[in-house]
Structure 1
Protein backbone atom coordinates (compact mmCIF):
# COMPACT_ATOMS: atom_id res chain seq x y z
CA UNK A 1 0.00 0.00 0.00
CA UNK A 2 1.36 3.39 -1.02
CA UNK A 3 1.95 5.99 1.62
CA UNK A 4 2.46 9.76 1.39
CA UNK A 5 6.19 9.19 1.98
CA UNK A 6 6.53 6.60 -0.79
CA UNK A 7 4.53 8.75 -3.24
CA UNK A 8 6.68 11.76 -2.36
CA UNK A 9 9.85 9.73 -3.00
CA UNK A 10 8.46 8.49 -6.35
CA UNK A 11 7.65 12.08 -7.39
CA UNK A 12 11.16 13.22 -6.48
CA UNK A 13 12.68 10.35 -8.49
CA UNK A 14 10.48 11.22 -11.49
CA UNK A 15 11.67 14.84 -11.29
CA UNK A 16 15.33 13.72 -11.22
CA UNK A 17 14.84 11.43 -14.23
CA UNK A 18 12.97 14.20 -16.05
CA UNK A 19 15.92 16.55 -15.53
CA UNK A 20 18.34 13.94 -16.90
CA UNK A 21 16.15 13.35 -19.97
CA UNK A 22 15.94 17.10 -20.66
CA UNK A 23 19.72 17.36 -20.45
CA UNK A 24 20.20 14.44 -22.86
CA UNK A 25 17.70 16.01 -25.26
CA UNK A 26 19.67 19.27 -25.27
CA UNK A 27 22.99 17.47 -25.82
CA UNK A 28 21.59 15.38 -28.68
CA UNK A 29 20.03 18.41 -30.39
CA UNK A 30 23.34 20.28 -30.21
CA UNK A 31 25.30 17.24 -31.43
CA UNK A 32 23.06 16.76 -34.47
CA UNK A 33 23.83 20.24 -35.72
CA UNK A 34 27.52 19.85 -34.88
CA UNK A 35 27.94 16.78 -37.08
CA UNK A 36 25.78 18.22 -39.85
CA UNK A 37 28.00 21.29 -39.95
CA UNK A 38 31.10 19.08 -40.03
CA UNK A 39 29.75 17.31 -43.11
CA UNK A 40 28.83 20.59 -44.78
CA UNK A 41 32.30 22.01 -44.11
CA UNK A 42 33.83 19.16 -46.10
CA UNK A 43 31.88 20.09 -49.24
CA UNK A 44 34.51 22.34 -50.86
CA UNK A 45 37.32 19.88 -50.20
CA UNK A 46 35.26 17.02 -51.61
CA UNK A 47 34.66 19.05 -54.78
CA UNK A 48 38.39 19.76 -55.07
CA UNK A 49 39.17 16.03 -54.87
CA UNK A 50 36.51 15.29 -57.50
CA UNK A 51 38.01 17.93 -59.79
CA UNK A 52 41.46 16.41 -59.38
CA UNK A 53 40.16 12.96 -60.30
CA UNK A 54 38.17 14.47 -63.18
CA UNK A 55 41.32 16.04 -64.64
CA UNK A 56 43.25 12.78 -64.26
CA UNK A 57 40.49 10.59 -65.77
CA UNK A 58 39.97 12.88 -68.75
CA UNK A 59 43.73 13.09 -69.31
CA UNK A 60 43.93 9.28 -69.33
CA UNK A 61 40.98 9.09 -71.71
CA UNK A 62 42.61 11.59 -74.07
CA UNK A 63 45.72 9.36 -74.15
CA UNK A 64 43.61 6.29 -74.88
CA UNK A 65 44.10 4.67 -71.47
CA UNK A 66 41.33 2.65 -69.75
CA UNK A 67 39.89 3.37 -66.34
CA UNK A 68 42.53 2.73 -63.67
CA UNK A 69 42.38 0.01 -61.03
CA UNK A 70 42.10 1.64 -57.61
CA UNK A 71 42.10 -1.46 -55.41
CA UNK A 72 44.50 -4.27 -54.56
CA UNK A 73 45.14 -6.55 -57.52
CA UNK A 74 44.50 -10.28 -57.44
CA UNK A 75 42.35 -10.49 -54.31
CA UNK A 76 38.64 -10.98 -53.86
CA UNK A 77 38.56 -10.70 -50.04
CA UNK A 78 36.29 -8.02 -48.58
CA UNK A 79 36.63 -5.82 -45.53
CA UNK A 80 33.39 -4.45 -44.10
CA UNK A 81 33.39 -1.37 -41.86
CA UNK A 82 30.25 -1.06 -39.73
CA UNK A 83 29.49 2.22 -37.96
CA UNK A 84 27.39 1.82 -34.80
CA UNK A 85 27.28 3.56 -31.44
CA UNK A 86 29.19 3.35 -28.20
CA UNK A 87 26.26 4.41 -26.01
CA UNK A 88 22.68 3.20 -25.79
CA UNK A 89 19.33 4.95 -25.35
CA UNK A 90 19.01 5.35 -29.12
CA UNK A 91 16.19 2.96 -29.93
CA UNK A 92 16.83 0.36 -32.65
CA UNK A 93 19.79 2.28 -34.10
CA UNK A 94 22.38 -0.48 -33.58
CA UNK A 95 19.95 -3.26 -34.40
CA UNK A 96 19.16 -1.60 -37.74
CA UNK A 97 22.76 -1.17 -38.85
CA UNK A 98 23.79 -4.63 -37.57
CA UNK A 99 21.00 -6.34 -39.52
CA UNK A 100 22.02 -4.50 -42.69
CA UNK A 101 25.66 -5.44 -42.13
CA UNK A 102 24.73 -9.12 -41.76
CA UNK A 103 23.23 -8.98 -45.24
CA UNK A 104 26.53 -7.63 -46.62
CA UNK A 105 28.86 -10.14 -44.99
CA UNK A 106 30.15 -12.46 -47.69
CA UNK A 107 30.90 -15.67 -45.81
CA UNK A 108 33.47 -16.19 -43.07
CA UNK A 109 36.24 -14.74 -45.23
CA UNK A 110 34.98 -11.19 -44.72
CA UNK A 111 37.19 -9.08 -42.48
CA UNK A 112 34.94 -7.20 -40.06
CA UNK A 113 35.77 -3.82 -38.52
CA UNK A 114 33.26 -2.06 -36.28
CA UNK A 115 33.09 1.49 -34.96
CA UNK A 116 31.07 1.34 -31.73
CA UNK A 117 30.91 -1.29 -29.02
CA UNK A 118 27.15 -1.88 -29.15
CA UNK A 119 27.03 -2.71 -32.85
CA UNK A 120 30.04 -5.01 -32.34
CA UNK A 121 28.20 -6.85 -29.56
CA UNK A 122 25.20 -7.46 -31.83
CA UNK A 123 27.36 -8.79 -34.67
CA UNK A 124 29.28 -11.09 -32.34
CA UNK A 125 25.99 -12.34 -30.89
CA UNK A 126 25.01 -13.24 -34.47
CA UNK A 127 28.16 -15.39 -34.74
CA UNK A 128 30.57 -13.03 -36.55
CA UNK A 129 33.94 -12.23 -35.01
CA UNK A 130 34.94 -8.57 -35.00
CA UNK A 131 38.53 -8.27 -36.21
CA UNK A 132 39.04 -4.57 -35.43
CA UNK A 133 37.10 -2.34 -33.03
CA UNK A 134 37.21 1.47 -33.10
CA UNK A 135 35.70 3.94 -30.63
CA UNK A 136 33.49 6.64 -32.21
CA UNK A 137 34.30 10.26 -31.29
CA UNK A 138 32.13 12.23 -28.92
CA UNK A 139 32.47 15.47 -30.90
CA UNK A 140 33.07 16.54 -34.48
CA UNK A 141 36.64 17.47 -33.55
CA UNK A 142 37.46 13.77 -33.17
CA UNK A 143 36.27 12.78 -36.66
CA UNK A 144 39.59 13.56 -38.35
CA UNK A 145 41.70 11.35 -36.09
CA UNK A 146 39.31 8.42 -36.35
CA UNK A 147 39.13 8.63 -40.14
CA UNK A 148 42.91 8.70 -40.37
CA UNK A 149 43.12 5.63 -38.11
CA UNK A 150 40.66 3.74 -40.32
CA UNK A 151 42.59 4.71 -43.47
CA UNK A 152 45.86 3.49 -41.97
CA UNK A 153 44.14 0.25 -41.00
CA UNK A 154 42.63 -0.16 -44.47
CA UNK A 155 46.08 0.21 -46.04
CA UNK A 156 47.35 -2.50 -43.68
CA UNK A 157 44.44 -4.76 -44.68
CA UNK A 158 45.40 -4.46 -48.33
CA UNK A 159 49.10 -5.10 -47.73
CA UNK A 160 48.93 -7.83 -45.07
CA UNK A 161 45.49 -9.43 -45.38
CA UNK A 162 45.00 -9.46 -49.14
CA UNK A 163 41.88 -7.29 -49.01
CA UNK A 164 40.71 -6.28 -52.48
CA UNK A 165 37.46 -4.54 -51.63
CA UNK A 166 36.41 -2.31 -48.71
CA UNK A 167 32.81 -1.36 -47.97
CA UNK A 168 31.20 0.70 -45.23
CA UNK A 169 27.74 0.25 -43.67
CA UNK A 170 26.15 3.00 -41.59
CA UNK A 171 22.90 4.71 -40.70
CA UNK A 172 21.87 8.11 -41.92
CA UNK A 173 18.86 10.38 -41.68
CA UNK A 174 16.58 10.42 -44.71
CA UNK A 175 13.39 12.45 -44.61
CA UNK A 176 11.35 11.46 -41.58
CA UNK A 177 13.41 8.28 -41.14
CA UNK A 178 15.98 8.75 -38.38
CA UNK A 179 18.16 5.71 -39.03
CA UNK A 180 18.04 4.21 -42.51
CA UNK A 181 20.97 1.88 -43.23
CA UNK A 182 23.06 2.38 -46.37
CA UNK A 183 26.26 0.80 -47.70
CA UNK A 184 28.98 2.32 -49.85
CA UNK A 185 31.99 0.92 -51.63
CA UNK A 186 35.19 2.64 -50.54
CA UNK A 187 37.76 0.69 -52.54
CA UNK A 188 38.13 0.18 -55.38
CA UNK A 189 36.43 3.37 -56.49
CA UNK A 190 33.22 2.36 -58.29
CA UNK A 191 33.54 2.30 -62.09
CA UNK A 192 30.24 4.21 -62.35
CA UNK A 193 31.80 7.06 -60.35
CA UNK A 194 34.96 7.13 -62.49
CA UNK A 195 32.92 7.03 -65.71
CA UNK A 196 30.81 9.95 -64.51
CA UNK A 197 34.02 11.97 -64.18
CA UNK A 198 34.84 11.37 -67.84
CA UNK A 199 31.69 13.23 -68.88
CA UNK A 200 31.81 15.87 -66.17
CA UNK A 201 32.18 19.45 -67.47
CA UNK A 202 35.36 21.24 -66.50
CA UNK A 203 34.77 24.66 -64.85
CA UNK A 204 37.37 26.45 -66.92
CA UNK A 205 38.80 26.94 -70.42
CA UNK A 206 40.97 23.80 -70.28
CA UNK A 207 42.22 20.95 -68.14
CA UNK A 208 45.12 21.75 -65.78
CA UNK A 209 48.65 20.44 -66.23
CA UNK A 210 50.26 18.33 -63.52
CA UNK A 211 53.90 17.43 -62.95
CA UNK A 212 53.45 14.62 -60.45
CA UNK A 213 53.72 11.08 -61.73
CA UNK A 214 50.17 10.00 -62.79
CA UNK A 215 50.27 6.77 -60.69
CA UNK A 216 51.44 8.71 -57.61
CA UNK A 217 48.83 11.42 -58.20
CA UNK A 218 46.12 8.80 -58.63
CA UNK A 219 47.14 7.06 -55.40
CA UNK A 220 47.04 10.34 -53.47
CA UNK A 221 43.66 11.36 -54.89
CA UNK A 222 42.19 7.93 -54.11
CA UNK A 223 43.34 8.31 -50.50
CA UNK A 224 41.70 11.74 -50.32
CA UNK A 225 38.52 10.37 -51.84
CA UNK A 226 38.56 7.60 -49.22
CA UNK A 227 38.97 10.24 -46.51
CA UNK A 228 36.00 12.25 -47.83
CA UNK A 229 33.64 9.28 -48.06
CA UNK A 230 34.60 7.93 -44.62
CA UNK A 231 34.35 11.36 -43.00
CA UNK A 232 30.90 11.93 -44.46
CA UNK A 233 29.75 8.43 -43.50
CA UNK A 234 30.84 8.99 -39.89
CA UNK A 235 29.24 12.45 -39.71
CA UNK A 236 25.98 11.12 -41.16
CA UNK A 237 26.00 8.12 -38.80
CA UNK A 238 26.63 10.21 -35.68
CA UNK A 239 23.99 12.77 -36.66
CA UNK A 240 21.55 9.88 -37.18
CA UNK A 241 22.49 8.37 -33.80
CA UNK A 242 21.79 11.61 -31.94
CA UNK A 243 18.56 12.17 -33.88
CA UNK A 244 17.40 8.70 -32.87
CA UNK A 245 18.41 9.34 -29.25
CA UNK A 246 16.60 12.69 -29.31
CA UNK A 247 13.42 10.96 -30.50
CA UNK A 248 13.82 8.31 -27.79
CA UNK A 249 14.27 10.99 -25.12
CA UNK A 250 11.20 12.85 -26.36
CA UNK A 251 9.18 9.67 -25.96
CA UNK A 252 10.69 9.08 -22.52
CA UNK A 253 9.86 12.64 -21.50
CA UNK A 254 6.20 12.17 -22.45
CA UNK A 255 6.06 8.93 -20.47
CA UNK A 256 7.67 10.56 -17.43
CA UNK A 257 5.24 13.48 -17.56
CA UNK A 258 2.29 11.09 -17.72
CA UNK A 259 3.73 9.07 -14.85
CA UNK A 260 4.34 12.23 -12.83
CA UNK A 261 0.78 13.41 -13.37
CA UNK A 262 -0.52 10.02 -12.20
CA UNK A 263 1.70 10.11 -9.11
CA UNK A 264 0.61 13.66 -8.35
CA UNK A 265 -3.03 12.64 -8.58
CA UNK A 266 -2.41 9.67 -6.29
CA UNK A 267 -0.54 11.97 -3.89
CA UNK A 268 -3.44 14.44 -3.74
CA UNK A 269 -5.96 11.64 -3.12
CA UNK A 270 -3.78 10.05 -0.42
CA UNK A 271 -3.15 13.43 1.21
CA UNK A 272 -6.87 14.19 1.26
CA UNK A 273 -7.57 10.77 2.75
CA UNK A 274 -4.96 11.42 5.46
CA UNK A 275 -6.39 14.85 6.28
CA UNK A 276 -9.93 13.46 6.39
CA UNK A 277 -8.87 10.60 8.66
CA UNK A 278 -7.06 12.98 11.00
CA UNK A 279 -10.11 15.26 11.15
CA UNK A 280 -12.33 12.28 11.90
CA UNK A 281 -9.98 11.28 14.69
CA UNK A 282 -10.15 14.81 16.15
CA UNK A 283 -13.97 14.88 15.96
CA UNK A 284 -14.26 11.41 17.46
CA UNK A 285 -11.93 12.37 20.26
CA UNK A 286 -13.86 15.57 20.94
CA UNK A 287 -17.16 13.69 21.05
CA UNK A 288 -15.69 11.09 23.42
CA UNK A 289 -14.44 13.80 25.77
CA UNK A 290 -17.79 15.65 25.63
CA UNK A 291 -19.72 12.45 26.43
CA UNK A 292 -17.43 11.67 29.36
CA UNK A 293 -17.96 15.15 30.85
CA UNK A 294 -21.77 14.83 30.57
Structure 2
Protein backbone atom coordinates (compact mmCIF):
# COMPACT_ATOMS: atom_id res chain seq x y z
CA UNK A 1 0.00 0.00 0.00
CA UNK A 2 2.90 2.34 0.81
CA UNK A 3 4.40 1.76 -2.64
CA UNK A 4 1.05 2.47 -4.29
CA UNK A 5 0.69 5.70 -2.33
CA UNK A 6 4.21 6.75 -3.26
CA UNK A 7 3.53 5.94 -6.92
CA UNK A 8 0.32 7.98 -6.91
CA UNK A 9 2.11 10.90 -5.27
CA UNK A 10 4.87 10.75 -7.90
CA UNK A 11 2.34 10.69 -10.72
CA UNK A 12 0.49 13.64 -9.21
CA UNK A 13 3.69 15.70 -8.98
CA UNK A 14 4.57 14.79 -12.58
CA UNK A 15 1.14 15.86 -13.81
CA UNK A 16 1.38 19.13 -11.91
CA UNK A 17 4.70 19.80 -13.64
CA UNK A 18 3.15 19.00 -17.01
CA UNK A 19 0.23 21.29 -16.20
CA UNK A 20 2.66 24.12 -15.50
CA UNK A 21 4.36 23.56 -18.86
CA UNK A 22 1.03 23.44 -20.69
CA UNK A 23 -0.14 26.61 -18.95
CA UNK A 24 3.08 28.37 -19.92
CA UNK A 25 2.73 27.32 -23.55
CA UNK A 26 -0.91 28.44 -23.56
CA UNK A 27 0.11 31.85 -22.27
CA UNK A 28 2.92 32.13 -24.83
CA UNK A 29 0.54 31.23 -27.69
CA UNK A 30 -1.88 33.95 -26.59
CA UNK A 31 0.92 36.51 -26.25
CA UNK A 32 2.60 35.57 -29.55
CA UNK A 33 -0.63 35.91 -31.54
CA UNK A 34 -1.22 39.54 -30.57
CA UNK A 35 1.64 41.22 -32.54
CA UNK A 36 0.73 39.29 -35.69
CA UNK A 37 -2.92 40.20 -35.25
CA UNK A 38 -1.96 43.85 -34.96
CA UNK A 39 0.29 43.54 -38.02
CA UNK A 40 -2.56 42.00 -40.03
CA UNK A 41 -4.81 44.89 -39.05
CA UNK A 42 -2.12 47.47 -39.76
CA UNK A 43 -1.36 46.21 -43.26
CA UNK A 44 -4.99 46.81 -44.22
CA UNK A 45 -4.36 50.56 -44.19
CA UNK A 46 -1.42 50.10 -46.57
CA UNK A 47 -3.52 47.80 -48.75
CA UNK A 48 -6.31 50.39 -48.88
CA UNK A 49 -3.77 53.00 -50.03
CA UNK A 50 -2.55 50.68 -52.79
CA UNK A 51 -6.12 50.05 -53.94
CA UNK A 52 -6.77 53.80 -53.95
CA UNK A 53 -3.73 54.11 -56.20
CA UNK A 54 -5.19 51.48 -58.53
CA UNK A 55 -8.48 53.35 -58.49
CA UNK A 56 -6.78 56.61 -59.49
CA UNK A 57 -4.70 54.86 -62.16
CA UNK A 58 -7.75 53.16 -63.68
CA UNK A 59 -9.74 56.39 -63.63
CA UNK A 60 -6.92 58.14 -65.49
CA UNK A 61 -5.84 55.35 -67.86
CA UNK A 62 -8.99 53.28 -68.29
CA UNK A 63 -9.66 49.59 -67.62
CA UNK A 64 -6.80 47.10 -67.72
CA UNK A 65 -6.87 43.99 -69.92
CA UNK A 66 -6.86 41.49 -67.05
CA UNK A 67 -6.90 37.79 -67.91
CA UNK A 68 -4.80 34.62 -67.93
CA UNK A 69 -1.60 34.93 -69.90
CA UNK A 70 -0.83 32.10 -72.33
CA UNK A 71 1.83 29.76 -71.01
CA UNK A 72 1.88 31.31 -67.53
CA UNK A 73 3.61 29.01 -65.02
CA UNK A 74 1.26 28.14 -62.11
CA UNK A 75 2.87 28.86 -58.73
CA UNK A 76 1.46 28.27 -55.26
CA UNK A 77 2.72 29.96 -52.10
CA UNK A 78 1.52 28.04 -49.01
CA UNK A 79 1.86 29.51 -45.52
CA UNK A 80 2.02 26.91 -42.73
CA UNK A 81 3.74 26.49 -39.39
CA UNK A 82 7.32 25.75 -38.45
CA UNK A 83 6.44 24.32 -35.02
CA UNK A 84 4.16 21.55 -33.85
CA UNK A 85 1.62 21.27 -31.03
CA UNK A 86 -1.10 22.87 -33.17
CA UNK A 87 -3.16 19.79 -33.98
CA UNK A 88 -3.88 19.00 -37.64
CA UNK A 89 -3.31 22.60 -38.70
CA UNK A 90 -0.77 21.77 -41.41
CA UNK A 91 -2.49 18.59 -42.58
CA UNK A 92 -5.75 20.46 -43.29
CA UNK A 93 -3.80 23.19 -45.10
CA UNK A 94 -1.95 20.59 -47.18
CA UNK A 95 -5.27 19.05 -48.25
CA UNK A 96 -6.40 22.51 -49.36
CA UNK A 97 -3.19 22.88 -51.36
CA UNK A 98 -3.91 19.58 -53.16
CA UNK A 99 -7.38 20.85 -54.05
CA UNK A 100 -5.95 24.10 -55.44
CA UNK A 101 -3.49 22.27 -57.67
CA UNK A 102 -1.10 19.40 -56.98
CA UNK A 103 0.87 20.02 -60.21
CA UNK A 104 1.84 23.61 -59.42
CA UNK A 105 5.28 24.83 -58.47
CA UNK A 106 5.11 25.25 -54.70
CA UNK A 107 6.89 27.63 -52.36
CA UNK A 108 6.28 26.45 -48.80
CA UNK A 109 6.59 28.54 -45.66
CA UNK A 110 7.08 26.31 -42.61
CA UNK A 111 8.87 22.98 -42.08
CA UNK A 112 5.78 21.33 -40.58
CA UNK A 113 3.77 22.19 -43.68
CA UNK A 114 6.55 20.79 -45.87
CA UNK A 115 6.20 17.40 -44.15
CA UNK A 116 2.41 17.50 -44.59
CA UNK A 117 2.75 18.37 -48.29
CA UNK A 118 5.29 15.62 -48.90
CA UNK A 119 2.93 13.19 -47.20
CA UNK A 120 0.37 14.02 -49.91
CA UNK A 121 2.84 13.70 -52.76
CA UNK A 122 3.71 17.40 -53.21
CA UNK A 123 7.40 18.32 -53.17
CA UNK A 124 7.93 22.05 -52.54
CA UNK A 125 10.42 23.79 -54.77
CA UNK A 126 11.57 25.98 -51.87
CA UNK A 127 10.96 25.95 -48.12
CA UNK A 128 11.19 29.19 -46.15
CA UNK A 129 11.06 29.78 -42.42
CA UNK A 130 8.23 31.88 -40.95
CA UNK A 131 9.38 35.05 -39.19
CA UNK A 132 10.18 34.77 -35.50
CA UNK A 133 8.61 38.16 -34.79
CA UNK A 134 6.12 40.49 -36.46
CA UNK A 135 9.04 42.63 -37.64
CA UNK A 136 10.05 39.83 -39.99
CA UNK A 137 6.76 39.78 -41.90
CA UNK A 138 7.91 42.52 -44.27
CA UNK A 139 11.21 40.72 -44.93
CA UNK A 140 9.38 37.47 -45.69
CA UNK A 141 6.98 39.23 -48.06
CA UNK A 142 9.86 40.98 -49.85
CA UNK A 143 11.80 37.72 -50.14
CA UNK A 144 8.78 35.95 -51.63
CA UNK A 145 8.28 38.72 -54.20
CA UNK A 146 11.94 38.44 -55.19
CA UNK A 147 11.61 34.68 -55.65
CA UNK A 148 8.47 35.09 -57.73
CA UNK A 149 10.23 37.68 -59.88
CA UNK A 150 13.08 35.23 -60.51
CA UNK A 151 10.62 32.49 -61.41
CA UNK A 152 8.83 34.84 -63.81
CA UNK A 153 12.09 35.77 -65.56
CA UNK A 154 13.13 32.12 -65.81
CA UNK A 155 9.82 30.98 -67.31
CA UNK A 156 9.62 30.53 -71.07
CA UNK A 157 6.53 32.71 -71.39
CA UNK A 158 7.82 35.32 -68.98
CA UNK A 159 4.60 35.05 -66.95
CA UNK A 160 3.45 33.28 -63.80
CA UNK A 161 0.05 32.68 -62.22
CA UNK A 162 0.32 32.89 -58.43
CA UNK A 163 -2.11 31.56 -55.83
CA UNK A 164 -1.78 31.97 -52.06
CA UNK A 165 -2.92 29.22 -49.68
CA UNK A 166 -3.17 29.99 -45.98
CA UNK A 167 -5.44 29.62 -42.97
CA UNK A 168 -7.73 32.57 -42.35
CA UNK A 169 -9.74 33.64 -39.32
CA UNK A 170 -13.51 33.49 -39.54
CA UNK A 171 -16.48 34.47 -37.43
CA UNK A 172 -16.94 33.23 -33.86
CA UNK A 173 -13.27 32.29 -33.49
CA UNK A 174 -13.36 29.75 -36.32
CA UNK A 175 -10.61 29.37 -38.87
CA UNK A 176 -10.36 27.58 -42.19
CA UNK A 177 -7.85 27.19 -45.04
CA UNK A 178 -8.43 29.49 -47.98
CA UNK A 179 -6.90 30.28 -51.34
CA UNK A 180 -6.41 33.70 -52.92
CA UNK A 181 -5.62 34.40 -56.53
CA UNK A 182 -2.75 36.84 -56.67
CA UNK A 183 -1.58 36.90 -60.28
CA UNK A 184 -3.00 37.68 -62.73
CA UNK A 185 -4.94 40.33 -60.88
CA UNK A 186 -8.49 39.43 -59.94
CA UNK A 187 -10.83 40.78 -62.68
CA UNK A 188 -13.58 41.35 -60.12
CA UNK A 189 -11.25 43.48 -57.98
CA UNK A 190 -9.94 45.55 -60.89
CA UNK A 191 -13.36 45.78 -62.51
CA UNK A 192 -14.90 46.96 -59.28
CA UNK A 193 -12.26 49.67 -58.90
CA UNK A 194 -12.67 50.76 -62.50
CA UNK A 195 -16.46 51.01 -62.12
CA UNK A 196 -16.26 52.98 -58.87
CA UNK A 197 -16.94 56.70 -59.45
CA UNK A 198 -14.25 59.24 -58.66
CA UNK A 199 -15.74 61.34 -55.85
CA UNK A 200 -13.00 63.94 -55.47
CA UNK A 201 -13.23 67.32 -57.19
CA UNK A 202 -9.55 66.98 -58.15
CA UNK A 203 -8.71 64.61 -60.99
CA UNK A 204 -5.81 62.18 -60.38
CA UNK A 205 -2.52 63.10 -62.00
CA UNK A 206 0.86 61.35 -62.05
CA UNK A 207 4.25 62.11 -63.53
CA UNK A 208 5.68 58.59 -63.76
CA UNK A 209 5.33 56.62 -66.99
CA UNK A 210 2.14 54.56 -66.88
CA UNK A 211 3.95 51.20 -67.06
CA UNK A 212 6.34 52.17 -64.26
CA UNK A 213 3.50 53.32 -62.01
CA UNK A 214 1.45 50.21 -62.76
CA UNK A 215 4.42 47.98 -61.94
CA UNK A 216 4.88 49.79 -58.61
CA UNK A 217 1.17 49.41 -57.79
CA UNK A 218 1.24 45.70 -58.64
CA UNK A 219 4.34 45.22 -56.50
CA UNK A 220 2.66 47.04 -53.62
CA UNK A 221 -0.42 44.86 -54.02
CA UNK A 222 1.72 41.72 -53.99
CA UNK A 223 3.56 42.91 -50.89
CA UNK A 224 0.41 43.66 -48.91
CA UNK A 225 -1.19 40.36 -49.94
CA UNK A 226 1.90 38.33 -48.95
CA UNK A 227 2.26 40.27 -45.71
CA UNK A 228 -1.37 39.77 -44.76
CA UNK A 229 -1.34 36.05 -45.64
CA UNK A 230 1.79 35.48 -43.54
CA UNK A 231 0.32 37.41 -40.61
CA UNK A 232 -2.98 35.51 -40.84
CA UNK A 233 -1.10 32.22 -40.92
CA UNK A 234 0.81 33.06 -37.74
CA UNK A 235 -2.30 34.33 -35.96
CA UNK A 236 -4.26 31.18 -36.77
CA UNK A 237 -1.29 28.94 -35.95
CA UNK A 238 -1.03 30.41 -32.46
CA UNK A 239 -4.82 30.27 -32.08
CA UNK A 240 -4.75 26.56 -32.99
CA UNK A 241 -1.92 25.97 -30.52
CA UNK A 242 -3.83 27.88 -27.83
CA UNK A 243 -6.91 25.71 -28.40
CA UNK A 244 -4.83 22.51 -28.17
CA UNK A 245 -3.15 23.70 -24.99
CA UNK A 246 -6.53 24.51 -23.47
CA UNK A 247 -7.70 20.99 -24.28
CA UNK A 248 -4.49 19.54 -22.85
CA UNK A 249 -4.88 21.63 -19.70
CA UNK A 250 -8.43 20.39 -19.24
CA UNK A 251 -7.33 16.77 -19.72
CA UNK A 252 -4.51 17.21 -17.20
CA UNK A 253 -6.90 18.81 -14.69
CA UNK A 254 -9.34 15.92 -15.06
CA UNK A 255 -6.54 13.38 -14.60
CA UNK A 256 -5.27 15.32 -11.57
CA UNK A 257 -8.74 15.14 -10.01
CA UNK A 258 -8.80 11.38 -10.56
CA UNK A 259 -5.30 10.96 -9.11
CA UNK A 260 -6.17 13.14 -6.13
CA UNK A 261 -9.21 10.98 -5.42
CA UNK A 262 -7.12 7.82 -5.81
CA UNK A 263 -4.42 9.24 -3.54
CA UNK A 264 -6.96 10.11 -0.85
CA UNK A 265 -8.48 6.63 -1.07
CA UNK A 266 -5.03 5.02 -0.90
CA UNK A 267 -4.09 7.20 2.07
CA UNK A 268 -7.34 6.32 3.81
CA UNK A 269 -6.72 2.63 3.16
CA UNK A 270 -3.23 2.97 4.59
CA UNK A 271 -4.56 4.70 7.69
CA UNK A 272 -7.30 2.08 8.10
CA UNK A 273 -4.75 -0.73 7.76
CA UNK A 274 -2.51 0.86 10.36
CA UNK A 275 -5.44 1.29 12.76
CA UNK A 276 -6.49 -2.31 12.25
CA UNK A 277 -2.92 -3.43 12.96
CA UNK A 278 -2.94 -1.40 16.17
CA UNK A 279 -6.34 -2.79 17.24
CA UNK A 280 -5.36 -6.35 16.43
CA UNK A 281 -2.12 -5.91 18.34
CA UNK A 282 -3.99 -4.43 21.29
CA UNK A 283 -6.49 -7.30 21.31
CA UNK A 284 -3.65 -9.81 21.13
CA UNK A 285 -1.99 -8.18 24.15
CA UNK A 286 -5.30 -8.28 26.08
CA UNK A 287 -5.70 -11.99 25.31
CA UNK A 288 -2.14 -12.68 26.43
CA UNK A 289 -2.69 -10.82 29.70
CA UNK A 290 -5.88 -12.78 30.34
CA UNK A 291 -4.10 -16.08 29.77
CA UNK A 292 -1.34 -15.02 32.18
CA UNK A 293 -3.86 -14.12 34.93
CA UNK A 294 -5.51 -17.48 34.54
TM-score (norm 2): 0.91
In 2: Cα distance, 1:180 partner to 1:153 partner: 27
- In the other structure, the counterpart of 2:133 is 139
Q: Which string of whole-angstrom CA distances, capped at 9 and with x for unpartnered residues, describes residues 174-221 of structure 1?
A: 113533111001112112211111122335212321111111111111
- Which shifted more, 280-289 or 152-161? 280-289
Unpaired runs of 5+ residues, structure 2, are: none
Whether the 8 Å contact between 2:94 and 2:120 is mirrored in structure 1 is no
Verify: 1:35 aligned to 2:32, yes or no. no
Q: Distance in 1 between matches of 2:198 and 2:241?
A: 43
- Following superposition, the deviation at residue 134 of structure 1 comes to 0.9
**Which segment is superposed worse, 119-128 or 196-205?**
196-205
* Contact in 1 for aligned 2:60/2:205 (Cα 8 Å): no
1:148 deviates by 1.1
Give aligned pairs, total: 287
Residue 236 of structure 1 is matched in structure 2 by: 232
Task: Identify the match of residue 80 of structure 2 among 77, 84, 97.
Answer: 84
The CA deviation at 1:103 is: 0.5
**Conserved 8 A contact 2:67-2:187:** no
Q: Is the 1:29–1:243 Cα contact (8 Å) retained in structure 2?
A: yes
Look up the match of 1:8: 9
User: Residue 178 of structure 1 contacts residue 244 of structure 1 at CA under 8 Å; is this kept in 2?
Assistant: no
1:67 corresponds, among 64, 68, 80, to: 64
Q: Is the 8 A contact 1:83 1:234 kept in 2?
A: yes
Q: Could you say what secondary structure the match of 2:152 adopts? A: helix
1:196 aligns with 2:192: yes
1:3 partner SS = helix
Q: 1:182-261 to 2 correspondence within 5 Å?
A: 182-261=178-257
Cα distance 1:106–1:269, how it changes in 2: closer, same or farther (>3 A)? closer
CA 1:17–1:274: 2 relative to 1, 3 Å: same
Contact in 1 for aligned 2:66/2:186 (Cα 8 Å):
no
The residue that corresponds to 1:157 in the other structure is 151
* TM-score normalised to structure 1 length: 0.91
Stretches of structure 1 lacking an aligned partner (at least 5 in a row):
none
1:110-158 deviations in Å (ceiling 9; x for gaps): 1111111111111111111111101112321221111111111111111
- Report the 3-state secondary structure (helix = DSSP H, G, I; strand = E; otherwise coil) of the residue aligned with 2:174: strand
Measure how far apart 1:241 and its partner are.
1.4
Larger Rg: 2
